[in-house]
A and B are shown apart, each in its own frame.
Chain A
Amino acid sequence: MTVPRQGRAGWPLWEVFVRARRGLSHTHVGSLHAPDAELALRNARDLYTRRQEGVSIWVVPAQAITASSPDEKDAFFEPAADKVYRHPTFYPVPDGAAHL
């Protein structure tokens, strides 16, 4: 028996970007659910900077992101233009790391 989960209908997905240190750009660290931007920001702080991983956070509604295909080769994807780009990079890659 599966009962649909109550109450979360309006909680969208947010993508989280963290600036690890001054001088670095914001890097995608993951995603989370929150009902609105203010709570998304707080939740991001609690979830993704528990070990002082950041000095600044952005949250962006996942729906607001338009993605290209990773290899610009549509043949390899079922590209559904309405599909959001959810590509959690779970750790910051320092700027200057080669070939990333």
Chain B
Amino acid sequence: MYGHDFPVPDDGPAGGLLDQVEAAEAALRAAAGRGRPGPEDGSTADTDPQDYFAALIDADQKIEPRDWMPEAYRKTLIRQIAQHAHSEIIGMQPEGNWISRAPSLKRKAILLAKVQDEAGHGLYLYAAAETLGVTRDELVEMLLSGRQKYSSIFNYPTLTWADVGAIGWLVDGAAIVNQVPLCRCSYGPYARAMIRVCKEESFHQRQGYEILYVLASGTPEQRTMAQDAVDRWWYPSLAMFGPPDGDSTHSQQSMAWKIKRFSNDELRQRFVDMCVQQAEVLGLRLPDPDLRWNESRQAYDYTQPDYAELMRVIAGDGPCNRQRITHRRRADADGAWVREAAAAYAAKRTAERTSDRATVLA
């Protein structure tokens, strides 16, 4: 409802990906239709839970909250879903930075709606994580104390309005490429959350792309602003897919459990291949002199991001790490008295109802 009141110059960058989300949703329903694996009469009493879990995964069935699951599977999911939720919440800050200064009222409305969506996505994801037996308060505490991470991309500053466009196009674009396969994740609540998130995110990417499109075809100053933003956000966006496959610690087990469906490098390549044509439509340059089509691979060759920088930012030494977490801690601390008041009010009402009932009984 906020995303369709502007023209999209081509088919729209997220068009094909949305089809994949629809396909994932259809697959989820189909799997539900097939029912669970095992004997026809459903007698599985003598089946070992581990075998049953493995059979569900093999049959592309969803694992649901009360199913038995290996402890490592549960922990991996909690870590990944929580990190994803934290990223949505911290990710509100760099864009929220421009709500007050958005250059038109329409842009202000779209940006407000987008940042609000991110809060909503964080909440869907926290709810999905809670089905695994962890509370949201515990997850928030781990974010605030630095024991759980969020996506390192949000530790870069938004210096100009064009950065809002670049985040939408590149950062949300990379996020969608990452997230679309998660719509087929083996854990049901996470897969369902991702289907909802991906559908809503398609407008995010379009609005960012459209911001850059207007800037790139605007005044010379606007065009410079747009190119500068793409120059700064390109490599950090490539780094969002994580370390190269050889260095990725969690990948193999996650692939076996069907939490993860493609490797970091596969997804990064997919993203690069998408962006090249989109950049051409914008008339903006991707800041990689070695970017060129490789006929034999049927893919673009490109320069890898600086993984040493990625590791530094993950370790806490990016431009905005301290600022982002301080902001979140302050908001949380400033809100404590409000949360306490609401809890106290609810407790009083419950006590009143209890004493009313006691009076009636007496």
Contact = CB atoms under 8 A, between A and B. Distances in A.
A64 interface: no
Interface residues of B, number: 58
B128 A6 contact: no
A6 B334 CA distance: 10
A10 B343 contact: yes
B192 interface: yes
B131 A87 contact: yes
A7 B339 contact: yes
Interface in B106-144: 116-117, 120, 123-124, 127-128, 130-131, 133, 136-137, 140-142, 144
A41 B29 CA distance: 29
A73 B130 contact: no
A50 B117 CA distance: 9
A85 B192 contact: no
Interface string A17-47: 0000000000000111101100100000001
A91 B35 contact: no
A40 B72 CA distance: 33
Contacts, number: 134
Contacts of A39: 342
Interface of B: 1, 25, 29, 32-33, 35-36, 42, 44-45, 47, 49, 52, 64-68, 116-117, 120, 123-124, 127-128, 130-131, 133, 136-137, 140-142, 144-145, 147, 188-189, 192-193, 195-196, 200, 332-333, 335-340, 342-347, 349
Interface of A: 1-11, 13, 30-33, 35-36, 39, 47, 50-52, 67, 69-71, 73, 75-79, 83, 85-91, 93, 97-100
